[in-house]
Structure 1
Amino acid sequence: MIIHIFKPLLFMLPLLWLGCSDTRSKSAMKPMQAEVGVYTLSEQSVTLTRELPGRTKATLSSEIRPQVGGIIQARLFDEGAFVKKDTVLYQIDPSSYQAAFDEAKAALKNAEATLESTRLKSERYADLAKIDGVSQQDREDAQAAYLQAVATAEGKKASLQSARINLEYTKIKAPISGRIGTSSDTVGALVTAGQTTALATIRVLDPIYVDLTQSSTQLLKLRALLAQKGVTHGSAALSLKLEDGTVYQHSGTLQFQEIAVDESTGSVTLRATFPNPEGILLPGMYVRAVLDEAVDADAVLVPQQGVQRDPKGNATALIVTAENKVEKRVLTTDRVIDDTWLVNSGLNAGDRVIVEGSNKARVGDSVKAVDVTTTLGKAK
């Protein structure tokens, strides 16, 4: 009785086993798709910057040298202090120059007295000549003496002016307003006119220049970049990094670019101006300036984890096509922008770049793409 009940079940067991086996074989024949994380590219406006080395330089610099020789009687400034234009800095012993001035002054008075005497005589002889009171020769001699006295007086005036200038030069004054450095000479030192060694140097430090150097190669790349569609000039504003790595609190302005390339270095000089009210920047300091070179309105940025290098060193990326197939692209990259690459060619907006799981995907494979969000940086 029991055998008759289970007999149909025993007959169905082989059929069930065959059905399960067939299902498993079909599953084994269908390969499983790898899951990869993709980032969808889009165009965006990016400010492209360049970091250039440079050195600070005073906007005005004046070396103080004596214009007359003599002994320094006094130094009338504090080293390192701010001095105003026309402030007396040194006093040279004026004794000999005062005497020369007094002598020239007396000589001029003597010449003026002679001039007056010859003028009166010339006028008197001119009147007498009209009535034949004096000969024509005497009249001409009187006139010539007067003209000679005029010339002598003019020469004495010039000598007096020269003596006055030399006397004034004994007071060595500041030609510009600025901060004065150390003095190379002390009281009692003998100085000479036009000496090669400056007594001191005055510099204007606010504002201050920063002379930057840019290679001619970088300049050519920038011009090629600006020729591209959607790329425009950047602003003239700059930021500054000091030698210790800190960022200078004031921004500067680009003034001009040198029109010639230095043959010894192959670089071009750019000059920027920075405010320096606190006096932090001193002439000769090494700094690095961050310059806004251009603005790319149609930039394509790719996360760095989505870019690899092939054995030849070329930049490559794996993308997922509309058919969910893996495809390899060779890229031309421009620069690193934080955690991204700026790509010039090889990728376009809308492409899905594999940024996670690339080791599980091979070119031509069908994959399951999962969107990954990432934050793109700013231009360096």
Structure 2
Amino acid sequence: MPVLRTPRLDLRPFTPADVPAMAKVYGDPEVMRHVATGEPWSAARTHAILEAYARRHRRDGISVLAVVERATGDLLGDAGLEPSPATDGALEVGWTLRRDAWGRGVATEAGAACVRHALTVPGAQAVEALVVPTNTASVRVALKLGLRPAGHRHAHGREHRVLRLTRGQERPMDVVVAGAHGQIAKLLHPRLVARGDRVRGLIRNPDQAAALEALGVEPVVCDLEHADVDELRAAVRGADAFVFAAGAGPGSGAERKATMDRDGAVRTIRACEDEGVARYVIVSSIGADDPPQGDEVFAVYLRAKAEADEALKASKLDWTVVRPGPLTDDEPTGKVRAARHVGRESVPRADVADVLAAVLAEPETAGEVFELGSGDTPIDEAVATLARAGS
């Protein structure tokens, strides 16, 4: 009998008959490079491990389980729960799947069942995943499951990221996005909605509300240039995080660069401080670290961005400043270069949206200012590196 069932999978205790199939999984160096010490396991060790998993399940009622595809009967790997090395009543969730099960949502489906079960176990105060930082696919899965970054831990002889969900905190993040009908924001919204976040989008034009609702966003009409203090406070009230992706836009004059790109940001920074919205991520621009002088519109724009960035850095908020290079509408690559300085590398707007989503999910990027361009580093890995630099 399966212990857990999902739309496609049965999760059940291991039996001796599972040893040959699991020996292939645990013996695959590509699979095991992110597991435990990173070394493949022998058939003898596989036999001993599966016996231990089954014994723990009989004794404790929780353990690592066999993941079986119901339609085919194929054993795809393992997923389940074990007592965490932490001493605060946490359970550790994990999964190890054969290669042909990758990219099919199996880890997310099995992991979600395990997380739901973990939070029903008496005495379990939290569920956490320990993930090798280079295992970006599993980091993404853990974030989808609602686990949030919680530092690092040394285990099995190497560093692991800790992602954690504490009992009573099983709720999505509440994010307010300014400039919600802009190109980057409209790419960001689906990414946040897909992982379960509540998204409120600030717009000036009420005619844009239907487009946001179609993306799963709650539209909030709020003119950042003219709204009074009470309106701005009401717009951000109750949020966990704020993203400033607003701007006067191409074709606007120097005056609106000041009233929107600078003053709009400053006014929302104050509103977030007043309402206790701790997390604030601003989309700035490459070149804002040393803006040119003069009256040319682009120079005024960069100075406005720079002044907004400085106001944010001087605030009491947990801030992150993201400075993309020239933006393109190219298809996302999922790979970027993120560093204090990267040069004028262009970057697809969709990759910027993915970086913003990853930054929101990684509190240890607070206090970081970085430029962003196309590159060779997977986004989750690039953001994890920034987080380690800030921790």
**TM-score class normalised by the smaller sequence:** under 0.3
Higher relative contact order (CA 8 A, sep 6+): 1
TM-score by length of 2: 0.20
Greater Rg over alpha carbons, structure:
1
TM-score by length of 1: 0.20
The structure in which a higher percent of residues are helix is 2
The structure in which a higher percent of residues are strand is 1
